[in-house]
Structure formats: C-alpha cells, structure tokens
Structure 1
C-alpha cells in the first residue's frame, strides 16, 4: 500500500520531513506490523509480517555472502535505513553489502556506501521489489540490486546504472533460477536450498 502526496520527492520540503518523522515513529512502535519506507510515490507500507521462507532466505543469503567476502565487508540485515534526502527516498533493503567501517555513522546509511542491495520478494507486495525498487535504487546510486523471488524460485541481478530520459536506470539484468550460482558484485554464491512460498 502506498500513501503520500505528489510532492513527496521534494526532500527539502516539509512534506518529506513529515513523512520521514512518521515513518520513524512507526518504526519505534511494535503495534503496527510490517515495514514503512519512503519512495518517490510516497510512503510504502509492506504489511507482511516476517514469515519463515522470507526470513530463512535472508539468513542463508547473508551467511553465504559472508563466507566469500573479505572480513571487512558485511552482509548487514536490519536497521538503519538507506536514505537519499536529495531524492526524498528512504529504503531498508533486506540485505545490504557494506564495509563495516561505513556502518560507523549516526542516523541513516548514505546510499553511496552500499556495495549492493538484496531484496527477497514479499508475497504480499511483489511490485515493491520488482517495480518500485528497480526504479528507486539506481536513482539513489545503489550500484547492484539483486532480487530473490520465493514465489517463482527465480531472481535477477541488476547492474550498470546509466542515464535515461526517465532518470538513472540499470542497464544490465542477469536472470537466474534457484539452483544456479549467482554473482553479486565480486562474489558468487549458491542458490541451492533457498525456500519457496507455499500456496
């Protein structure tokens, strides 16, 4: 579900600041399930409570990446958000590949410190991962975006940001199916035994 006014992208405006304050206040309470993010379209509320296949996929991806990455690079899950105030976008990827030293900051992460963003597609709101984030992530400069979809046991790795009339977009997309090895940046991991959603 998306809620917000048309001028949400104007990060310097009182509208963006009000949305940011609202999202942060919602994150501070455990009474509303799901996750809130700010996109160019406004506030997105993914109402999905974490479920087994989603969380297990996140866990396995994090562990597999950290086995092949140098010690100073981590596959971080959780807070804080990645924020680009100039574009009025605040997101929280399921997994963020980032140098541990770049985590030593107050507040949100600068998107230019993120090596890669990884999302596990939500069963309740797949367009958030396959459409909105495909638009937002190159706009804020995330160089690599990997998508894992437990609905279909497929995914894609998007790279090579380039300018287009609609704004920055990923130029390269490499699709994969579960069971194949997948390369994210400099690191290749297995997609064997990643869980699927059950109908």
Structure 2
C-alpha cells in the first residue's frame, strides 16, 4: 500500500514497512565541499526537472565547516573556493585577498545550491540527518540505502531507499569536528 506524498514530489512512503522510497537521476552522498561541487557539476548535464537527492549526516550544506570552531577563516583567497563558475555574494564587496569567515563560507554553501536549482530547474531533495549505508546495482540503476541518525532518528523518521541513475560519493575527508581546548585559570 503506497501513498504518494504530493507536497514533496514523487517519493512514496510504505505504510506497512515504515520505509520511504526516492527515485532520482543522481544521488549525491555528502553535502560538504565535494558534494557542493558535485551538485554544481552534475546539474550541467541533467535535463530540467531532473531530481537530485543529497544524503548527509549533517543538517545543512557545509560538511565539516558547519561543526568547526566559530573563528574559522579560509586559509586562501575566497574566490578560489567555490563550485565551478559560481561567484560569491561578497564578490566586489571585499578585496580578492579576503579570507572568508565561517558565516561567509556557510552562506556560500547555502547560496550555490539555491542558484543551481534556480538556473537549471532541477528538483533538489535533501536528506539531512541520514547516513549512507550501501549502494548496489539493480538492473543498471543504483539502489542506495540510508538510515536516519541523531535527532532525525529520534523523531521517528524512516529509513530511505533511493533508486538513482547515478550515484556520486562525495564524502570528502570526513574530518572530525575540532573542539576548543578546555582551559582553566586555576593552577
């Protein structure tokens, strides 16, 4: 017994097995710098209206930049850190040698996927709080299995199986968050 979720497009939920299904042209695993660039590049080869599903353990675009210390800055010119031809909104406002702040970096991570959707007409589905488990070939298409983690799992979200024409594993370096040192003024 399948129910079509009209608010979210063509994915369906299975009432009997608590499994959600997605079908797409491309599934991208990872929403950090590698996934961000994969989305921009893949969008150039997809027809308008194609579905792209992005799976990430985090809760937004940005990968390890999201959980890194607040005083983070790029260690290179911000213009060298982008997705293809995509310009930063701060271009022309700050000098080319500017080392972008964490907030500026995360804003760029938000801006580029929105611009990709606007420019190409793709349908972007983000599965934040989901962990990639497996990918296998099923009749020439990839079947990707995921499971919810953290607060998404605690909220009772079901596992998701994605059937995709192509899968791009863009997990990058999978860097653990850096935490500030606990310092004390007491000797």
Q: Specify the TM-score bucket, using the shorter chain as the normaliser.
A: under 0.3
Higher relative contact order (CA 8 A, sep 6+): 2
Greater fraction helix: 1
